[in-house]
Amino acid sequence: MERTGSLFGHFRDLDQQRETASLGMWVFLMTEVMFFGGMFLAYTVYRWKYHDAFAAASRELNVTMGALNTGVLILSSFTMAMAVWASQMRKRNLLCIFLIATMLLGAAFLTIKGFEYAQKFEHHLVPGPNFNFPGPEAEAQHAEIYFALYFMMTGMHALHMIIGEGMLLILLIYAWKGSFTGDYHAPIENGGLYWHFVDIVWIFLFPLLYLIDLHH
């Protein structure tokens, strides 16, 4: 595969290359929608069936930490959008700064989530033989389903965040080397699409998992 500057040999021009890369990213994100969609469907069914137990279980979550993480991710979406803008404007230094800021915000999210997980282990709210939920036995069994979904959904989201951090690190290295130009910045745009998708998933997870009891 030959490459001339920023153009790979099997593309006619940079516009075709950018459109193809964008299409590929959107197709990938559609598979991610289906992946998370299965978990959201399972959550919807069990929440409908065991609404009272899910509401009681949600009270064990730290809403303050969840809200703080929501704010962190919204801010990270802004810095990622600014990184895309900086790449389009050929502002290499600003691009690097915004990528670093996005990475730091992502790391802050994962750190807060780590403290949340530690609390669940400390209070024996992790599904398994040591699970201990304060309440009637039947409610505790249904609450265990809630926490199984909680760890599955937030865990997979955290994994996608970690992957996103690695992606941003690679983009930062290339940005520092000056690989992106005003005409060639598709990797930054596609990285932004991925990051925004992961942020949107959390925007759904936060009210579904943390705010159930507010409407109970």
211: in domain: yes
2: in domain: no
pLDDT, tens digit, 9 for 90 and up, residues 76-125 = 999 999 999 999 999 999 999 999 999 999 999 999 999 999 999 999 99
State the pLDDT at residue 6: 58
3: in domain: no
121: in domain: yes
pLDDT, tens digit, 9 for 90 and up, residues 142-170 = 999 999 999 999 999 999 999 999 999 99
52: in domain: yes
Give the integer Cα–Cα distance in Å for 131 and 167.
36
pLDDT, tens digit, 9 for 90 and up, residues 45-72 = 999 999 999 999 999 999 999 999 999 9
Going by pLDDT thresholds of 50, 70 and 90, the confidence category of residue 1 is very low
Counting the structural domains of the chain, the total is 1
Going by pLDDT thresholds of 50, 70 and 90, the confidence category of residue 19 is confident
Which domain covers residue 16, as residue numbers?
8-215
Do 9 and 1 touch, CB atoms closer than 8 A? yes
Residue 66 belongs to domain with CATH number:
1.20.120.80
End-to-end CA distance of the chain: 59
Report the candidate in 140, 31, 18 with the shortest Cα–Cα distance to residue 88. Answer: 18
1: in domain: no
State the pLDDT at residue 181: 78
State the pLDDT at residue 2: 39
